[in-house]
Amino acid sequence: MQNPIFKGLTWAKPQSTFISPPFHTLPSLLIVGPIRKLKNNSGNNFKKRSKKEWNHHHRSGSGIRGGKYWAMPCSSIQTSNITCGGGDGGEENGRLRNFKLNESTFLASLMPKKEIGADRFIEAHPHYDGRGALIAIFDSGVDPAAAGLQLTSDGKPKILDVIDCTGSGDVDTSKVVKADGDGRIRGASGASLVVNSSWKNPSGEWHVGYKLVYELFTDTLTSRLKKERKKKWDEKNQEEIAKAVMHLDEFDQKHTKVEDPKLKRAREDLQNRIDILRKQADSYDDKGPVIDAVVWHDGEVWRVALDTQSLEDDPKCGKLADFVPLTNYRIERKYGVFSKLDACTFVVNVYDEGNILSIVTDSSPHGTHVAGIATAFHPQEPLLNGVAPGAQLISCKIGDSRLGSMETGTGLTRALIAAVEHKCDLINMSYGEPTLLPDYGRFVDLVNEVVNKHRLIFVSSAGNSGPALSTVGAPGGTSSSIIGVGAYVSPAMAAGAHSVVEPPSEGLEYTWSSRGPTADGDFGVCISAPGGAVAPVPTWTLQGRMLMNGTSMASPSACGGIALLISAMKAEGISVSPYSVRKALENTSVPVGGLPEDKLTTGQGLMQVDKAYEYIQKSRDFSCVWYQIKINQSGKSTPTSRGIYLREATACQQSTEWAVQVDPKFHEDASKLEELVTFEECIELHSSDNAVVRAPEYLLLTHNGRTFNIIVDPTNLSDGLHYYEVYGIDCKAPWRGPLFRIPITITKPKAVMNRPPIISFSRMSFLPGHIERRYIEVPLGANWVEATMRTSGFDTSRRFFVDTVQICPLRRPIKWESVVTFSSPTAKSFAFPVVGGQTMELAIAQFWSSGMGSHETTIVDFEIVFHGIGVNRTEVVLDGSEAPIRIEAEALLASEKLAPTAVLNKIRVPYRPTEAKLCTLPTNRDKLPSGKQILALTLIYNFKLEDGAEVKPHIPLLNNRIYDTKFESQFYMISDTNKRVHAMGDCYPNSSKLPKGDYTLQLYLRHDNVQYLEKMKQLVLFLERNLEEKDVVRLNLFSEPDGPVMGNGTFKSSVLVPGKKESFYLSPPNKDRLPKNCSQGSVLLGAISHGKLSYAEEGKNPQKNPVPYQISYVVPPNKTDEDKGKGSSSACTKPIAERLEEEVRDAKIKVFGSLKQDTDEDRSEWKKLAQDLKSEYPKYTPLLVKILEGLLSRSNIGDKIHHYEEVIGAANEVVDSIDRDQLAKFFSLKSDPEDEDAEKNKKKMETTRDQLAEALYQKGLALAEIESVKGEKASALAASEGTKDLDQTGDSAVGFDIRSDLFEENFKELTKWVDLKSSKYGTLSVLRERRCGRLGTALKVLNDMIQDDGEPPKKKLYELKLSLLDDIGWSHLSTYERQWMHVHFPPSLPLF
């Protein structure tokens, strides 16, 4: 979000970065993560934006988060004992005095393990280092060539499988070819490929496909390659420019005076060559090399080979035949590298009987880094080992490369399928976003099945949206089946990894780590783990390791620690259950912070592997049970929650009674007789404060569960945050700790009683990491805030996070945030929207490392002024009529200036699908663990743009939800008539710039329930585009209902006084001001605002004013054509018989024009009918035009010369049938536009002229083709006889005088009638220049045609361009254009 105070008073929406670290200390650290950048939309809900891969943004003054990255090179180090760092209870949660680093403790701080007791555990149990544990890494992909990810500590393969679950690397290899006698096949790109004769292929069938290699690379890698390739390309281009300049200089020296027309044209040609080369350097846009893929079955497995010659500088490298064939990674665990230039590792997997090839690369370094934290093994550098060096893993890529590493529903579902198929023990997922509903959605349902039925332990990051409460995201912080992990930083990490001058005296949670509770009162954060590390990254980064921090790093740290526990449990024969492991973690964690409410920040605390292991050993004979908690306020059946969250003022003013249902849940394979029937526990219930929360003392719990009531009395509490728990202890084994916990969070807000409504918080003291929370009951009627923050009492700069959060039902948390840096004591102002009547948390935090070493307390004064204008219409819909809308406004709090302004600046056009295709997906990667096969529905929408525009698809039912939706997946592609894909996206669509033309949008939906998909077959989709500034409609405001018609009574502004309402009328737009091509049923969208910031100028853009509301205008039917239906002024005078004869003639010609000529018999019949019609209607131009069109439509031409001679003959007949003198005479005179008969005659003559021009044009093309074919035959003959090549330069191109040339005569005749530089007829100009040897001029004309042609690119023009470049000898340009041919004209659409 752009804060108004920093960005030209823009009333905008805050960005929030999730999962990847939002911010880091000075000096800068590497921040990497496959995050969703989030911002508030008009409803203040979070939504995804495209991400910058690698440099993820931290919050700054404008609300944007960003950072640099540092790397640490590999080095040889010696192992020594780590004597500091901290995390277990004996060391007071990382408390360190007189802290001093040495080499070993520094290196240990880069991969923190001591904090969670992992080092102590492995030292005591060397063989429980993760051996036997298998982790699925749901992330951006893991590089199998990265340092430390080849072998486990006991010599086993580290990575067992690498899968692209997104489909972003899929290649269509359904095309099958066979090799010729020389062992050559035709690749899908059109290249001729030599197959290695040693490759076994019993069937002889080769599946072929191709891929633009940049589609497999990250933006960072692509950018690096583009720079390096551009440098080499520029060198070649400069060589050609130097040659061209030299040729021009030689010409000028030879011809001092250039007066002869031929010499002028020759010099112009040389100059054109120079100009073309220079322009090409300016317009260079590298779309990347094309790689051919070949798939075959060798009798045992599917094999894959790639041809990567286009990536190599040496033409001998990268050949298909030299490629060492790969197979599915899990079979042989082998990988390849595209080239030395990119250093990018890839693996392959083959699906659907060879018809789909998946080329797997990572979509960011994030996944490899995460995997390294959890499991890396460095035998020479043990201090840099991951937490569980003995564990194995599978890589499940859920970050889609097409979307800049954003996750999709398809990727998430396939990853869960793979994790179950591989019998994984653990899942780590460092992805997520805010959610509409906690513990809800399709993905959560599938996760519940995986955890409860298949016993996988799911670990995920809680999010990076802190420090405010209720900022945990889905799925990690909001799902009951997932262990959500917060990010902790120890003194050792601060000193070593973060290089702060003076580390904190004890460990603490990172400022940006997301906090609980969830919207329904659950903890949100389960446990905490170290949130930063130096870990391996992919080889394409050209370095071994990087430093990253975030809850993305805390999650794999915890996951690695759990892998150690699983290793021990398996070795000791203890049943592995996510229920028992979670209980052990929660009940043995070390608290971070001394206040009860710190649990909302850190969960149960910093996990301790060794203590959890002891707990598991001791409780091995107890049933594996998860205690499901469902809470309802007494007397209400809905909503059901997992905790008690009293946030609003009314809830804190009285005692409430709550019904708590505790249901013991067993795994699906639990024995009914041995476990369920015998389960019975005597539970002693405890309240952390009986004065506020009262509960029964005991509870007898059986398998069927029990309900009990608790009473919460917050009436005597002070304003602010209060946290309590009710927890159950096993009476017979109290050492087990709480079996279940019921969190009770109370945020008692402070009321704003004074008027005008101002609230101040004075003299708040801050040290590094300190957070002040204030809870305010936003006055009813307030809808925006103007706040001022003043700082004092410090010397070095200070950085603060300022967050506000409000929670409303069925909405994502309404969050505003800013990061403010104070270089000296000063004041800064903010403005942001609020919801009246709802509690607002104000969280102010001094960043954890800001000001360390200065020992000065920062004093902060914060003042909030509430403003509000209430209106009777928060969403205005203009129905298309001329009637204005009455809007009533009032100020409930204080006097406000009413200065409404309204604009319509977007148009949204509805479409229904023209086609719907439902199919069952064929591969096992789309078969759910339950056995159900996933179905796919593809909806086809067609649309046309009359002008270029930025277009964004909008599907109200599906957009802006990925986790909190019951639908599985969506993906769209927008392609032109050439099948070029211009845009693609998922549930968070982006605007894409499209040139004018016809387009197809394919929407791809997935689910295993066919009934859901059937209901979507007529799904309405909107295309939304921004109007150009000239088309933006500014709506008028009036004080009278007839103002829009009469034009008087304009309303401008007024001052609202509390207790008195005022009204005005909003006028619909003038129909003449509507944008062109604005069809009936379309909706114009915009915004209306009513107030203004007190310190800002009055703005005409509602989006820059406080609290804009959406306004929409439904486009009515177009006005009727006044001339429509009027009869012709001149009646037809022809006799009926003559008119009937003409109708019969025209019908015959129409049928003749529709005849096919697919076979020789068809062509023979067509030719006979053409002769008969010509005999019947001699010299009838429309008939002769149809004959010419029929000849041109033929395919599979055998004798080309004979065919083109037929075309020339047909064209001559068209030309001869037209009286050219009469036509020329007509166009030399002006016709009267008021004379209807004259206008009709004009249209007729224009049609005749167009027919004449088309015939001359086609005749010229045919003459050129005959010339070309004869030239090829002559060249072939000369070559076979060993003679010299024919001279094909200058005016003697084909050995005859151009003055008597039929082509030249035809060209001159065509020049009389049309502009031969136009895109329609320019090809003839190109061919003429080419015949004369002026290839530079020919290329210039062709480039101008391509540039001026507004339609989608025409393949014939680009093929002609390639042949000209080959003739000139500019190989670097022809290679460049051939790569673009695959972009402009792909043979088919890509796979979803």
Q: How far apart (Å, rounded) are the C-alpha atoms in residues 893 and 757?
A: 7
Q: CA separation (Å) from 304 to 201, 352, 357, 396, 716? A: 12, 14, 8, 21, 72
Q: CA separation (Å) from 842 to 59, 783, 785, 803, 1094? A: 17, 16, 12, 6, 21
| Those residues with Cβ within 8 angstroms of residue 485's Cβ, 6 or more apart along the chain or in another chain | 459, 460, 461, 462, 476, 525, 526, 527, 528, 529, 551, 554, 555, 557, 558, 603
Q: How far is CA 1345 from the centre of its chain?
A: 35
SS3 700: strand
- Paired tokens of 392: 């194995």
| Those residues with Cβ within 8 angstroms of residue 797's Cβ, 6 or more apart along the chain or in another chain | 821, 822, 823, 824, 850, 851
Q: How far apart (Å, rounded) are the C-alpha atoms in residues 852 and 787?
A: 27
Residues pairing with 949 in the sheet:
994
| Those residues with Cβ within 8 angstroms of residue 621's Cβ, 6 or more apart along the chain or in another chain | none
CB 941 within 8 A of CB 913: yes
| Those residues with Cβ within 8 angstroms of residue 37's Cβ, 6 or more apart along the chain or in another chain | 15, 16, 17, 18, 48, 49, 50, 51, 57
Which of 631, 592, 615 has its CA nearest to residue 738?
A: 615
Which of 732, 500, 514 has its CA nearest to residue 24?
A: 500
Which of 992, 986, 1066 has its CA nearest to residue 1034?
A: 1066
Q: How far apart (Å, rounded) are the C-alpha atoms in residues 469 and 721?
A: 10
Q: HEC profile for 771-793?
A: EEEEEEECCCCCCEEEEEEEEEC
- Ramachandran assignment for 520, one of left (phi > 0), alpha (psi -120 to 50 degrees), beta (any other): alpha
Q: How far is CA 812 from the centre of its chain?
A: 20
- Paired tokens of 540: 């394409």
Q: How far apart (Å, rounded) are the C-alpha atoms in residues 504 and 489?
A: 9
Q: How far apart (Å, rounded) are the C-alpha atoms in residues 849 and 870?
A: 43
Q: How far is CA 3 from the centre of its chain?
A: 25
Question: How many Cβ atoms are within 10 Å of 242's Cβ, its own excluded?
Answer: 12
- DSSP label at residue 1287: P
Residues composing the chain: 1392
Which of 412, 486, 479 has its CA nearest to residue 452?
A: 479
* CA gyration radius, the chain: 37
Active-site annotation, residues: 139, 366, 552
Question: How many Cβ atoms are within 10 Å of 727's Cβ, its own excluded?
Answer: 18
What's the first-to-final CA gap in the chain, in angstroms?
Answer: 32
> What is the DSSP secondary-structure string of 458-504?
EEEE--S--SSSS---BTTTT-TTEEEEEEEE-HHHHHTTS--SS--
Q: How far is CA 1392 from the centre of its chain?
A: 14
- Paired tokens of 707: 């309900």
Q: Is 1114 exposed, middle or buried (CB count within 10 Å of its CB: 0-12, 13-18, 19+)? A: middle
CA dihedral over 315, 319, 324, 326, signed as positive or negative: positive
Q: CA separation (Å) from 1038 to 897, 1053, 1103? A: 17, 10, 21
Which of 1004, 1001, 974, 1000 has its CA nearest to residue 987?
A: 1004
